[in-house]
Amino acid sequence: MRQQYARRTQVLSLVLGVIALAIIVQMTRIQNSAEAAIFRQRASNYAYELRTFYPDRGEIYDRTGHLLAGNKTVFEIGVDLKSVKDPNAIAAAISVELGLDYAQVLDVIQNPPEGLAYVVLADYVEAQKAINLQELKKVVQEQAPEGALGELTGLEFKSHPQRSYPENALASNIIGFINRQGLGYFGIEEKYDTLLAGNPVQVLVPTDPNKATEIARVPDGTTLVLTINRDLQAATEQILDEALVTYGAQGGTIVVMDPRNGEVLTMAVTPRMDLNQFWNYDVIYNNATEFNPAVSMPYEPGSVLKILTMAAALDTGAVIPSTTYLDTGSILVGGATIQNWDQQPWGVQDMIGCLQHSLNVCMATLSTQMGANTFYSYMNNFGFGHLTGVDLAGEAAGRLKIPGDSDWYPVDLATNSFGQGVTATPLQVMMAASSVANDGRTVTPHVLYAMVRDGRQYNVPAQFAGSPISEQTAHTLSEMLAISLESEGSLALLPGYRVAGKTGTAEIPVNGFYDSTQTNASFIGWGPVDDPQFMIYVWLERPESSIWGSETAAPVFAEVAEQAVILLDIPPDSIRQQLVTK
């Protein structure tokens, strides 16, 4: 039986071997036949190569549809060294049209690096200049004798996209820029670099040009719509520039935000740069923090923080608006004497008078009365010492020292209550104060309004960071701040609208000591009081005409607020309230 199976196995193996041999012979015959040559020719006609396609970068618009960042076509102009007929003619044409040095261009053509068959003469050439050269090359070729090459033969043109900023320096600190390598720096361009850039696509492309219709379309990068109001941004930048001249300030920042949802409407800073000439960055700025001080440069904001100390005191029940105290002009905290800004006593004051006269002693009294644990718990809940989470690159967190830190001292409990010894960015202060303007809820500032992808728009919802104070506390404090401004006849007042706000004048530390002649002047305010639709922060650095925020930052606030109610179409209180009652 075993022998029978063995024979069958041998026969089967022989049959399979013959079949395999027949297949190999047939394959060999086909590959060497004329028919195979036809098949190979057809295959070559339909050959493909793997290529990478890069999408156009997404555009950036303001909330009203103004283009802030787009793309344009520019050209690389070079020379195919193997086909150059007259280097002198090419050098002459390039020098005339592009303004380059004739001798240098000629040297590049005649003495290229060894092994190169193509050299670049100029890149990022404006389209019109490239077109002019192309037309010149065509004319020269047409004038050449029949069958001869024109004198500009070898001149080559390669188009590619370049980022374009039609508003030049407007909102430059918000937008950021793209370098020659296509990388985003600062602002929106860096924060949303991946979304804007899109996704490169690798596809098999037919080598037969007749099959070009088979190339897959590469989706463009995501288009972004910002919360910024272009017209208000332009008006605010102009007001800021004029304020620097009027008050002799070394720099400044103005931010306008909707306190109901955190939408940043404007963010004006100095200095600014033309984004189309980003290579001047090192000439304009000494370091990265200067590009957008509103989010990157923490400073001691001074008395604007008194709003939040009062908020904590009201919320804990430590005081009510009518609570009085005797202001003696000084108070001893942690072994140090705290004095008022004018070093004078103000006698009996209620909490509105405390805010109106911006009394340091009052605030120190409140913070010590609440105690360190309660005071710093509120400051932490307001967001000090933490990032706001704004969608802009380069945000800094500032510093809030607390008990237990090696450099915290008991006197800090007093100085922190009126904004000295604590650092924050303008946007951090606005985020904290939004809880007062927004019924006790803190909004998260953001600059992105919507994303547009494949023809569909995706809006960005408002985000909230907590409720550090009650709604009642917020309403009470807003009213106290409004009365305070009205009682003193503040330069921040806006005819037809009730606004709430507070000045800030913070001495600047110089060589470890506070210099009373150098200050940061600030003002934060919002309105209309009964329905806040804008919040404005003004920061002027080292004003020379007056060191006081009440005389410099406050009037700037009024100017910006006037533009805001016009451009945001906010009716005066009397008209708006009539519309509500109808």
Please tell me the predicted confidence (pLDDT) of residue 514: 83
Q: What average pLDDT does the segment 201-210 reach?
A: 66
Q: What is the pLDDT of residues 440-473, one digit of tens each?
A: 999 999 999 999 988 899 999 999 999 999 999 9
Residue 512 has pLDDT above 60, yes or no: yes
Q: What is the pLDDT of residues 493-511, one digit of tens each?
A: 999 999 999 999 998 888 7
List of residues 6+ apart from 75 with CB closer than 8 A: 123, 124, 125, 126, 127, 129, 130, 157, 158, 159, 160
Please tell me the predicted confidence (pLDDT) of residue 5: 52
Q: What average pLDDT does the segment 555-563 reach?
A: 97
Please tell me the predicted confidence (pLDDT) of residue 123: 87
Residue 43 has pLDDT above 70, yes or no: no
Residue 101 has pLDDT above 60, yes or no: yes
Q: How confident is the model at residue 194 (pLDDT cuts 50, 70, 90)?
A: very high
117 close to 80: Cβ distance less than 8 angstroms = yes
Helix axes 306-316, 360-370, angle to 10 degrees: 40
- Which domains are present in the chain? 73-142+151-165 (3.30.70.2110), 230-581 (3.40.710.10)
Residue 73 has pLDDT above 70, yes or no: yes
Residue 466, sorted as left (phi over 0), alpha (psi -120 to 50) or beta, turns out to be left
More reliable by pLDDT, 14 or 269: 269
Q: How confident is the model at residue 316 (pLDDT cuts 50, 70, 90)?
A: very high
Q: Name 126's bridge partners.
A: 74
Full-model pTM? 0.85
Residue 579 has pLDDT above 60, yes or no: yes
The angle at the Cα of 90, spanning 85 to 93, to the nearest 5 degrees, equals: 150
Residue 37 has pLDDT above 70, yes or no: no
Please tell me the predicted confidence (pLDDT) of residue 13: 67
Percent of the chain with pLDDT over 70: 87
* Separation of CA 530 from chain center: 31
Q: What is the pLDDT of residues 234-261, one digit of tens each?
A: 999 999 999 999 999 999 999 999 999 9
Please tell me the predicted confidence (pLDDT) of residue 107: 86
Please tell me the predicted confidence (pLDDT) of residue 451: 95
H/E stretch holding 225: strand 223-226
Pairing mode, strands 464-466 and 456-459: unpaired
Q: What is the pLDDT of residues 111-149, one digit of tens each?
A: 888 878 888 888 888 889 989 888 888 887 777 665 555
Report the mean per-residue pLDDT for the chain: 89
H/E stretch holding 356: helix 351-356
Within 513-572, residue ranges assigned H as helices are 553-567
Q: How confident is the model at residue 293 (pLDDT cuts 50, 70, 90)?
A: very high
What count of Cα atoms within 13 Å lies in the side-chain half-sphere of residue 463? 14
Please tell me the predicted confidence (pLDDT) of residue 480: 97
Please tell me the predicted confidence (pLDDT) of residue 384: 96
Please tell me the predicted confidence (pLDDT) of residue 54: 74
Residue 217 has pLDDT above 80, yes or no: no
